[in-house]
Amino acid sequence: MRKKFIYIFLNFLKFFLIISILFMILFSVIQILDDLYSFIKGEKIFMLKNYLYTCPLLFVQISPIITILSLMLILSEMIKNYELKVFLISGVKPINIFYIFLFCGFFSAIITFSVKNSISPYFLKRINGQISRIPIAFTSHNYFFYAEKVEGKKFINVEFSEYYEEGGFRTFKIEIAENYDGNVWIFKDGFLWEFDKEKNLINKEKIDVKKVNIPLTYEILSVLNIDIETFSFFQLLRVIKKMEKLGLKPVTLISCLYDKIAYPFLNFFIVFVIYTFLRKREKISNLYVFSFSFLFSFFIYFLYILTFSLSKNAKIPPILGTWIIQIILLAHFFYQIKNFE
């Protein structure tokens, strides 16, 4: 069985690598051609590195297609060359062969998870720097933060208000606010007004440089204004925990957090459909392999995006919106086991 495992896994690695490279080249060329008109008009400057930096994210997005296509090609070749038949005659059960396919899917899921949460965020942050939406605004029952723009960790033309439990509040209007370590901020060039619970002004202060400790951090503010793909699972988890301490429950961010795990592991659960073809053991044409792999993967991707969008908009629970497709694939597999074995 060990030799069979090595044989199937090495073939999977070969197909997985070749298809990944070909697909990333293909989709990168398509992106360049799509931007060609903007290059000609001078609206954009061609920078090859930007297209290379998006390749990890592109790989993550198309990884279910790569996974299912690689395994379908292996199964097709095994059936065509009577290798599967030899395995079965030698006493190997179909389910044991299927476990090897599942391991390949698990390997694909781990690779995709690593790329999505480590390599892809690293390179996306380097595409012309991190560009945030302008302006930046954050509101909770205790805090209000507004900035006209952000440059790195430096916020420009800031208005910040903090409301106390006893009813009073303080307001800053400053030109520059920089977040240093943790909750430590440095406010520069502006004014501070403090009010009591009856909204009477009790203090006014001109600020040159002032150190302020507030629970809002650069991560909390930036996650609302920068592409979420530039955050890893662990970075996003840390931000959500900080927001929950502020009494906030960011449903969209929680859905994105689950997505950081759920989408990569779609590569594992999508392998369960392979068992249908393994059980039938009928010859599969290359045309059928490619057409099924593409159509099925896109169909699964469409359903995933649909449920994920519903969860981001708080229409369904985040965990359900990101894991329901995987549950359906697993349930279908157990249905086959129960009714056909």
Assigned domain for 330 exists: yes
Kindly give, in sequence order, each residue whose CB lies less than 8 Å from that of residue 256, ignoring residues fewer than 6 positions away: 228, 236, 312
If asked whether residues 78 and 143 sit together in one domain, one would say: no
- Same domain? For 32 and 119 the reply is yes
Given a cut of 90, whether residue 149 has pLDDT beyond it is: no
pTM: 0.81
235: in domain: no
Q: Are 123 and 151 contained in the same domain?
A: no
Where does a domain end: 168, 202, 225?
225
User: Do 51 and 111 lie in a common domain?
Assistant: yes
157 and 102 inside one domain: no
Q: Looking at the structure, do residues 122 and 218 belong to the same domain, yes or no?
A: no
Of the residues 201, 225, 249, the one at which a domain ends: 225
142 in the same domain as 118: no
What share of the chain in percent tops pLDDT 70? 96
Q: Do 190 and 175 meet the contact criterion of CB atoms below 8 Å apart?
A: yes
Statement to judge: residues 16 and 121 lie in one domain: yes
Same structural domain, 110 and 174:
no
Residue 24 within any structural domain of the chain? yes
Give the residue-averaged pLDDT of 59-88: 90
CA distance 214 to 230: 24
- Is 244 domain-assigned? no
Three-state SS sequence of 16-81: HHHHHHHHHHHHHHHHHHHHHHHHHHCCCCCCHHHHHHCHHHHHHHHHHHHHHHHHHHHHHHHHHC
pLDDT of 134 > 70? The answer is: no
Q: In Å, what is the CA distance from 103 to each residue of 13, 113, 254, 330? A: 12, 15, 29, 15
Q: Interior CA angle at 319 toward 315 and 323, to 5°?
A: 105
Q: Is residue 307 part of a domain?
A: yes
> What pLDDT is stored for residue 131 in this prediction?
47
162 phi, psi to nearest 5 deg: -125, 125
In terms of domains, do 112 and 15 share one? yes
Q: Give the mean model confidence (pLDDT) for residues 21-40.
A: 87
Contacts of 328 by beta carbon, 8 Å cutoff, 6+ apart:
none
Identify the band that residue 281 occupies on the pLDDT scale cut at 50, 70 and 90. Answer: low
Asked, for residue 52, whether it belongs to a domain, the answer is yes
Same domain, 58 and 149: no
116 with 154, same domain? no
Over the chain, what is the mean pLDDT? 87
Q: Residue 278: in which H helix or E strand, if any?
A: helix 274-280
How many domains does the chain divide into? 2
Residue 341's pLDDT band, with cuts at 50, 70 and 90, is low
Mean pLDDT over 242-251 rounds to 81
For residue 264, is it within any domain? yes
Intra-chain end-to-end CA distance of the chain, in Å: 21
What is the pLDDT averaged over residues 189-202? 91
Which of the 8 DSSP states describes residue 142? S
| Structural domain of 155 | 136-225
Listed residues 225, 248, 270: the one ending a domain: 225
Domain-located, residue 240: no
Measured CA to CA, the distance from residue 259 to residue 264 in angstroms comes to 8
Pick 132 or 137 by higher pLDDT. 137
